Amino acid sequence: MSERKAPAPVVNVETKPFWDATAEGKLLIKKCNACDEVHWYPRSMCPFCHSMDTAWIESSGKGVIYSHSTMRRTPVPYCLAYVTLDEGTTMMTNLVDVDFDALEIGQKVEVSFADTGEGNALPYFTTV
């Protein structure tokens, strides 16, 4: 995993199920029961139709790189990316354990988790 240390997330009532699942190595996303759309960032209200009838579903954790940018002028270089999950939604994340110079748009990735030491983990992605 990356040498770069990220702070533990701020957990609230709305996101607690998501963060609890990360401790078990599961990536949850929200799906709207009214319009059938999946969305990221997990929140109670659907950003598409504004319904409050949403449910947690487990993502496969697989997707493709939509966009990426490598930050090299830092003590520990890192790569920020948008990943489009197989379920259809796109999330911002970091790519870890990858060759920054070999990354390509459309490249397949899968989720990996970095333990925060506070009962949850941060979802990152790595190339397949």
Q: What is the CA radius of gyration of the chain?
A: 15
Question: How many structural domains comprise the chain?
Answer: 1
Residue 3 has what pLDDT? 67
The answer to whether 38 and 87 have CB atoms below 8 angstroms apart is: yes
Residue 10 lies in a domain: no
Residue 8 lies in a domain: no
For the chain, residues with pLDDT lower than 70 are 1-4
Residue 32 lies in a domain: yes
Residue 16 has what pLDDT? 95
Q: Residue 43's domain is classified under what CATH number?
A: 2.40.50.840
Ramachandran class of 90: left when φ > 0, alpha when ψ lies in -120 to 50, beta otherwise: beta
Give the structural domain span for 88: 16-127
Residue 126 has what pLDDT? 98
Residue 1 has what pLDDT? 55
Residue 9 lies in a domain: no
Which is it for the CA torsion 8, 10, 13, 14, positive or negative?
A: negative
Q: pTM score, two decimals?
A: 0.91
Residue 6 has what pLDDT? 78
